[in-house]
Amino acid sequence: MAQQSVRCFSEAPNANEYETVSQENWYTPTGPVQFSGKSLTVFDADATKERRFAPWEVKEATIKNSFGLLSVYMFDAVFSLGQGYAAAQAFFCINYARSVWNLMGSAVTKMALLDNGK
């Protein structure tokens, strides 16, 4: 008979098999905290050598606006939209650019602790 995995929870009758996992065991600092002048740099995105990925919100905006562009194109293939086609395509392009600009413009790229505690 094949061995099956057993899920254990804290309320389970055999709670002694339940194991808690601490996140601190997996965290490994990547570098020392840098002090320069009157501030203590906690995080600086420009100084990291790590691989950067696009946030999910940017991917979501890309998918939604791409579907919008494609839908307008397909709708125009069936029913001629005339000047409405260009307006609808421009709307989705401008909406995408605005969304990404707002998301990336408000991204946290540096955190510093000042000597006054702020």
Q: Is 4 part of any domain?
A: no
pLDDT above 70 for 108: yes
Write the DSSP assignment of 45-70 as a string of letters.
Answer: GGG--S-----HHHHHHHHHHHHHHH
Q: What SS3 class is residue 15?
A: helix
Q: Structural domain tally of the chain? A: 1
Q: Is 19 part of any domain?
A: no
Q: Is 52 part of any domain?
A: yes
Whole-angstrom Cα Rg for the chain: 25
Higher pLDDT, 52 or 8: 52
Write the DSSP assignment of 67-100 as a string of letters.
Answer: HHHHHHHHHHHHS--THHHHHHHHHHHHHHHHHH
Q: Is 63 part of any domain?
A: yes
pLDDT above 80 for 83: yes
Q: Is the pTM of this model over 0.95?
A: no
Q: What is the pLDDT of residue 48?
A: 75
Q: What is the pLDDT of residue 49?
A: 77
Q: What is the pLDDT of residue 63?
A: 95
Output the CA–CA distances (angstroms, integers) from residue 16 to 19, 24, 54, 71, in the order listed.
Answer: 8, 22, 42, 56
d(CA 58, CA 18): 39
d(CA 83, CA 94): 17
Domain that holds residue 52: 28-114
Tens-place pLDDT, residues 21-56 = 665 566 565 666 566 667 777 777 777 777 777 788
Q: Is 58 part of any domain?
A: yes
Q: Is 94 part of any domain?
A: yes
- What percent of the chain is modeled with pLDDT above 90? 39
Q: Is 1 part of any domain?
A: no
Q: Is 2 part of any domain?
A: no
